[in-house]
A and B are shown apart, each in its own frame.
Chain A
Amino acid sequence: MSIQSAIEQKLTATFSPERLAVINESHLHAGHHHTEGGHQETFDGSGETHFRVRIVSPVFDGMSRVERHRAVNTALADELKAGLHALAIEPAAPGERTRW
């Protein structure tokens, strides 16, 4: 299964989102060089390393910004451990304004 599908499935299972968009932004980071953590290669932009998650779910209602991000990070802990390098998160509760 692709990392993208795994992210979509886990977020759907955890948050029952009203709206969900998982966007692979790895191509935006082509040429982005990492020497830390054993990454000696330069990202070629074809992989699944950088994602943006946009999600609207009632689970976020009443949670602070940090709590919302922690909830998403926890749901995707396996992916983050396995080499998902960057995760931008735009969480919202139903009724809140989103930019998408």
Chain B
Amino acid sequence: MSGINEFIENEVKSNEVVLFMKGTPGFPQCGFSGQVVQILDYLGVDYHGVNVLTSDELRQGIKEYSNWPTIPQLYVKGDFVGGCDIIREMFQAGELQTFMSEKGVSTRGAA
């Protein structure tokens, strides 16, 4: 498992915003992943999508990495932010955009 942890660590550290999801940003294969994709796209956040369906090891590894049992999972500047419910709540409360700008992540959306 050390290999998969290194892979995850590298993805999380080398991209400002990373979404571990089922499917891809262009073709989400789960409604929960799709909701987060829509929110990030709406805000105009540049993010890197990692499709956990490409490997069982990755799908299990990401759950252990963050001690979080479900997917999607959003990371910003190396920190775990939340899953679908949390991202949606933050978005609806107007907190997500503030959070991104506080973290130094640019948004270019209409929100």
Residue of A nearest to B69 (CB): A80
- Total A-B residue pairs with C-beta atoms closer than 8 Å? 41
Task: Give min CB distance, A38 to chain B, whole Å.
Answer: 8
**Contact assessment for A66 and B82 in the assembled complex, using a CB-CB cutoff below 8 Å:** yes
Report whether over half of chain A's contact residues are helix, strand or loop; otherwise say mixed. Answer: helix
For residue B53, which residues in chain A have a CB less than 8 angstroms away from its CB?
35-36
In Å, the complex CA distance between A87 and B68 comes to 11
Is residue A10 contacting chain B, with contact meaning CB distance below 8 A?
no
Seen from chain A, the residues whose Cβ lies within 8 Å of a Cβ on chain B are 29, 32, 35-37, 65-66, 69-70, 73, 77, 80, 86-90
Given contacts A65-B89, A80-B69, 7 further A-B contacts (CB under 8 A): A29-B31, A32-B30, A65-B86, A69-B82, A80-B70, A88-B84, A88-B85
* Top-8 shortest CB links A-B: A80-B69, A65-B86, A36-B53, A73-B69, A89-B85, A88-B85, A66-B82, A36-B59
